[in-house]
Amino acid sequence: MGISMTTSQLLVYVAISSLCIFKVSAMDTFIAAVYEHAVILPNTTLKPVSSEEALALMNRNLDVLEGAVTSAAKQGAHIIVTPEDGIYGWGFTREAIYPYLEDIPDSQVNWIPCNDPSRFGHTPVQERLSCMAKNNSIYVVANIGDKKPCDTSDSQCPTDGRYQYNTNVVFDSEGKLVARYHKQNLFMGEDQFNSPKKPEIVTFNTTFGKFGIFTCFDILFEDPAVTLVKDFHVDTILFPTAWMNVLPHLSAVEFHSAWAVGMGVNFLAANLHHPFMHMTGSGIYAPDSPRGFHYDMKTEEGKLLLSQLDSHPYHSAVNWSSYASSIEANSMGNQGFKGTVFFDNFTFVELKGVIGNYTVCHRDLCCHLSYKMSEKRSDEVYALGAFDGIHTVEGTYYLQICTMLKCRTTALETCGDSVEAASTSFEMFSLSGTFGTQYVFPEVLLSDVQLAPGEFQVSSDGRLFSLKPTSGPVLTVTLFGRWYEKDRASDLRAQALVLITIAITTIEYLS
Ligand SMILES: *[C@@H]1O[C@H](CO)[C@@H](O)[C@H](O)[C@H]1NC(C)=O
Ligand SMILES: *[C@@H]1O[C@H](CO)[C@@H](O)[C@H](O)[C@H]1NC(C)=O
Ligand SMILES: *[C@@H]1O[C@H](CO)[C@@H](O)[C@H](O)[C@H]1NC(C)=O
Ligand SMILES: *[C@@H]1O[C@H](CO)[C@@H](O)[C@H](O)[C@H]1NC(C)=O
Ligand SMILES: *[C@@H]1O[C@H](CO)[C@@H](O)[C@H](O)[C@H]1NC(C)=O
Ligand SMILES: *[C@@H]1O[C@H](CO)[C@@H](O)[C@H](O)[C@H]1NC(C)=O
């Protein structure tokens, strides 16, 4: 009797401890999911609605997201990311967003909303997200709005007596709130929200690696995006976004996959699906190659993507200027022509032959290209371009860019315009530049805004080169460099320009 009791106690002990070991044992790989969501928009974003109406709209979006979460979990996903503004849309005034906001506590409070829904007031959206995560045993990442009252003791308190934040939340597989991140770099027109006073560095650990999180426009700036990788050594970035594609260099799948390569992290990007606003392009990106991506301007449907990733991806260091600095000075000094890429004045040279080596310089940046086309077509022109300077439209940020791109037409003044289709494939390419920054994001984009997984690599001396002939015609091959230290130095001069360009774009928009 005594012995059998001991045995059963032992069995229970073994069962519990093996459960615990199972729980904390590290996984080498995991399955990630992202959901591109065709958000159901409210009828008005200018006038406030009742909180019941606001919740009814959010529940309609949550119904769709719940379908994606359930489906991802059934297919074995450990984590799913949903888009920025995916629960209520965009374009609100400060007052009109208010009924959609909930008080979101710091994740330190150790809260499972699904088990304890009224601990922090009326929080039905957090409760639902938490239950989705818990019921399906999956991490759920979503974007909602936070409200925090303030008063005159805080000199920065807005006149309506509250801060409103664009906020990412993460619930773990037990439904616990494990991360809350307030977006730092608000995009122009996001006047309904405030930026936190200091950039928030939000990370959390799992058995499948360390995670960091930020939102949309944050990706263009140093804090918190680069800091999470450089100083906090996260393995995977979670990235809810509402991204409007801008070719040739800032379409979602192109730029987000390039950031994963340049920074050496996994990157889970969930975009809204709204073709009319040029919003599409989600993906699961590893530092060596995209694992899955979705770009769809044709349908109105959402899309679930799943892929396996390494929990701790490997990344080797690159010196982005090493190769280009070693090129003979006498090969430089081509006479270039000027062209505009998204309001920036590039210097270009035309690629005249089916095969060639070209150099083009702008200020301190010289770009080198070796290439071989599969044919030199008479109806298409490609050019090599360089830009070293401050960008001032829809944000102020210093760029160093080397780009080989297809010009919109055979007229050279169209080099740098948006173009989505091409006919020329490349047998090989190798692009490098004399970068002053170590933050360079390598982009390869094929015709119809398609990525080229497994077709290119970056060498440790900073060359972006093809591993094989491209699988399709090429739109652009680009080294997109960001020089963060130079943003501030250029700020004052730029601010004047921003005001002028905003005025111009507003006039263009209205006309
Ligand atoms: C917008 O208004 C129409 C007509 O009143 C209504 O049928 C629809 O459900 C409303 N949509 C939302 C998202 O509230
Ligand atoms: C979760 O499961 C509970 C009970 O099993 C159910 O009442 C609830 O509606 C479920 N919630 C979600 C979001 O699936
Ligand atoms: C996450 O895990 C790392 C490595 O195991 C550890 O050093 C770090 O303190 C953990 N961080 C948190 C927030 O638990
Ligand atoms: C990169 O390479 C260049 C040229 O070889 C060298 O001058 C520079 O110090 C290197 N940069 C770094 C950060 O190692
Ligand atoms: C870019 O070039 C255009 C046309 O040459 C010129 O009008 C404009 O001022 C230039 N912009 C900057 C920022 O230099
Ligand atoms: C281009 O440069 C490479 C490396 O310097 C050289 O091997 C090749 O022959 C050159 N090609 C042409 C067409 O000049």
In order of start, what are the domains of the chain with their CATH numbers?
Answer: 26-310 (3.60.110.10), 322-489 (no CATH)
Q: Cα–Cα distances in Å, from 253 out to 91, 249, 367, 374?
A: 24, 10, 24, 25
Task: Report which ligand 6 atom has the smallest distance to the Cα of 353.
Answer: 13
- Report the sign of the C-alpha dihedral through residues 234, 238, 242, 246, in that order: positive
Per-residue model confidence (pLDDT) at position 315: 85
The answer to whether 42 and 85 are in contact (CB under 8 A) is: no
The answer to whether 271 and 283 are in contact (CB under 8 A) is: no
Phi, psi of 17, rounded to the nearest 5 degrees: -70, -35
Q: Which residues line ligand 5 (CB under 6 A)?
A: 338, 345
pLDDT per 10-residue tile (average), the chain, 511 residues: 44 46 75 98 95 98 98 98 98 97 98 98 98 98 98 96 98 98 96 97 98 98 98 98 98 98 98 98 98 98 98 94 83 76 97 96 96 98 98 96 98 98 98 98 98 98 98 98 89 52 45 40
CA distance 4 to 11: 10
Catalytic residues: 84, 183, 216
319 pocket-lining for ligand 4 (C-beta < 6 Å): yes
Ligand 5 mean position to 122 CA, how many Å? Answer: 53
pTM: 0.91
Per-residue model confidence (pLDDT) at position 335: 73
Per-residue model confidence (pLDDT) at position 396: 95
- What is the DSSP code string of 247-305? TTTB-HHHHHHHHHHHHTSEEEEEEB-BGGGTB--EEEE-SSSEEEEE--SS----EEE
355 pocket-lining for ligand 6 (C-beta < 6 Å): yes
Q: Cα–Cα distances in Å, from 313 out to 209, 236, 310, 382?
A: 9, 8, 5, 35
Per-residue model confidence (pLDDT) at position 412: 97
Per-residue model confidence (pLDDT) at position 506: 44
- Take atom 7 of ligand 5 and give the residue whose Cα is closest: 345
